[in-house]
Chains A and B, each alone.
Chain A
Amino acid sequence: MVMHRFANPARFLRFAAVALPWFSAAAVLCMAAGLAFGLFVSPADYQQGETVRIMYVHVPSAWMAMFAYTVVAGGSISALVWKHPLGEIVARAAAPIGTGFTLVCLVTGALWGKPMWGAWWVWDARLTSVLVLFFLYLGYMALLGAFDDPVRGGRAASILAIVGLVNVPIIKWSVDWWNTLHQPASVARMDGPAIHSSMLVPLLLMAAGFACYFAAVLLLRVRAEVAARRIRTLRLAAMEAES
């Protein structure tokens, strides 16, 4: 179990110190290259015109929204099953980032939907399930902060995160199970991507950039949380020494 080795906070912090600059640099480079490629080099769509460029932000943020939720649920599982303190910290740290990605996905989707479908919002299965994902993130964070005892809040929120995991496959396959206005998957398909390389390259560059950004911010937030807990422990120890 490779992951279990990193459940040790000290070892994780050493890894974070090494990895953080690399992830940050990769995020900046990939996003810069992806944006340049997507906005200037890749062609406009023959039907959608220039609005197709919204895809280069919309699609990666949707992927990351689902991925971040999976990280929250995975961290919660490891916190509940193996009692890894780091699992809960990772889950707690990933949730706001995932919420941000979900919001970006919903907003860019609305901006794309207006010119293409003639409406900011339609109640189709994909949009509804992503909205539910957004509410699940908000519920998770609300539950985290709703208890006077942070340990109890963390555990309750972990259970909620695991229950909410049922929504992730629903989002993924909503476009296949129902007749949706939202188009079906065109990149992750068994018979290869149904999208031309001039659009696929910037899309994948942006996706890599978003993933590295997620990793970098996650490491940063985990480091901050571990430091905050250490300060709390030190203060408690100091208070006990005084009294």
Chain B
Amino acid sequence: MNAFRAILVRDLRLALRQGGDAAAVVLFFVLAASLFPFGVGPEPNLLARVAAGVIWVTALLAVMLGLDRLFLADHEDGSLEGMVASPAPMLVIVLAKCLAQWLLSGLPLVLATPILAIFLQLPAEGLPALLGALLLGTPTLVLVGAIGAALVLGARRGGVLLALLVLPLTVPVLIFGVAAADAAIAGLPARPHLLVLGAMLLAALAAAPFAAAAALRQAVE
């Protein structure tokens, strides 16, 4: 538990001192989503129809964008080897790093979503379901992405490869995340979709750290 808090505080402090990274992810999220009205046309009905999907896809890409930094800096300066060699279980370290990553690049996206909802004419009924879905879905994306981030350490063109590996695995999150918002907009209960998202989060919490820890051990060998 001490190791968990130490890693979490360290990662947050490093990110806040350097600044930039977390803000860039949110900026990318808002900018990329704001491009869609130019792409598909500013017609309000059309935008309202695609808003939830656009927000989800850009949130997914924004999370991916931040992920390649998750273990890279620690790998390059050698602190990852220290973490692997330390007596603290690797699972705890991975979980702490994922939580820090989510607080820096997942939670800000959720907070920025209401602005995009206004930009993209998302019907007001859909917003609470969309926020709930993002709150449950983005940690899953970070956890699944952590496996990819650990696997591509030391690879050539790691960033592109990371997207190639992780994006196919994130399809279910995207499907149920958009379905929750669409159900709320159509006046149907969003609860079943949110429950599935919660189940996926729990499954990812239980399984993804094992795979990421195994990949990290391979990376420093």
A and B bound? Answer: yes
Is A25 an interface position by the 8 A CB rule?
no
B211–A132 touching, CB < 8 Å: no
Is B154 an interface position by the 8 A CB rule?
yes
A143–B152 touching, CB < 8 Å: yes
B155–A146 touching, CB < 8 Å: yes
Of the four ranges (under 10, 10 to 19, 20 to 34, 35 or more), the interface on chain B belongs to 20 to 34
Query: Shortest CB–CB separation between residue A175 and chain B, in angstroms?
Result: 16
Per-position 1/0 for B170-201, Cβ under 8 A of A: 01100000000000000000000000000000
A156–B171 touching, CB < 8 Å: no
> Which residues of A approach B to under 8 Å, CB–CB?
80, 128, 132, 135-136, 138-139, 142-143, 146-149, 152-153, 155-156, 159-160, 162-164, 167, 170
Considering residues B152, B168, B169, B171, which has the most beta carbons from chain A within 10 angstroms of its beta carbon?
Answer: B168
B151–A136 touching, CB < 8 Å: no
B211–A138 touching, CB < 8 Å: no
| Chain B residue with the shortest CB-CB distance to A159 | B215
Top 7 A-B pairs, shortest CB-CB distance: A146-B155, A135-B168, A139-B165, A155-B218, A156-B151, A132-B168, A159-B215
A156–B152 touching, CB < 8 Å: yes
Query: Shortest CB–CB separation between residue A242 and chain B, in angstroms?
Result: 30
Q: A139-B168, A156-B152, A160-B151 are in contact. Are A80 and B161 (CB under 8 A)?
A: no
Q: A135-B168, A136-B168, A139-B165 are in contact. Are A162 and B154 (CB under 8 A)?
A: no
Q: A136-B168, A163-B169, A163-B211 are in contact. Are A143 and B161 (CB under 8 A)?
A: yes
Query: Shortest CB–CB separation between residue B199 and chain A, in angstroms?
Result: 13
Partner among A139, A153, A159 whose Cβ is within 8 Å of the Cβ of B164 = A139
B171–A159 touching, CB < 8 Å: no
Query: Shortest CB–CB separation between residue A91 and chain B, in angstroms?
Result: 15
Q: In the complex, A128→B221 CA distance in Å?
A: 37
| Chain B residue with the shortest CB-CB distance to A154 | B218
Q: A163-B147, A163-B211 are in contact. Are A156 and B155 (CB under 8 A)?
A: yes
Is B156 an interface position by the 8 A CB rule?
yes
Query: Shortest CB–CB separation between residue B56 and chain A, in angstroms?
Result: 15
Collect the chain A residues with CB atoms within 8 Å of residue B17's CB. Answer: none
Collect the chain B residues with CB atoms within 8 Å of residue A128's CB. Answer: 171
Of the A-B pairs whose beta carbons lie under 8 Å apart in the complex, a sample of 13, sorted by A's number, is A80-B214, A142-B161, A146-B158, A148-B156, A149-B154, A156-B152, A156-B155, A156-B218, A159-B147, A159-B151, A160-B151, A162-B211, A163-B147
Q: In the complex, A112→B35 CA distance in Å?
A: 37
Q: In the complex, A203→B168 CA distance in Å?
A: 31
Collect the chain A residues with CB atoms within 8 Å of residue B158's CB. Answer: 146
Q: In the complex, A1→B164 CA distance in Å?
A: 36
B168–A146 touching, CB < 8 Å: no
| Chain A residue with the shortest CB-CB distance to B203 | A166
Collect the chain A residues with CB atoms within 8 Å of residue B147's CB. Answer: 159-160, 163
A146–B218 touching, CB < 8 Å: no
B156–A147 touching, CB < 8 Å: yes
B171–A152 touching, CB < 8 Å: no
Collect the chain B residues with CB atoms within 8 Å of residue A170's CB. Answer: 172
Considering residues B151, B172, B211, B221, which has the most beta carbons from chain A within 10 angstroms of its beta carbon?
Answer: B151
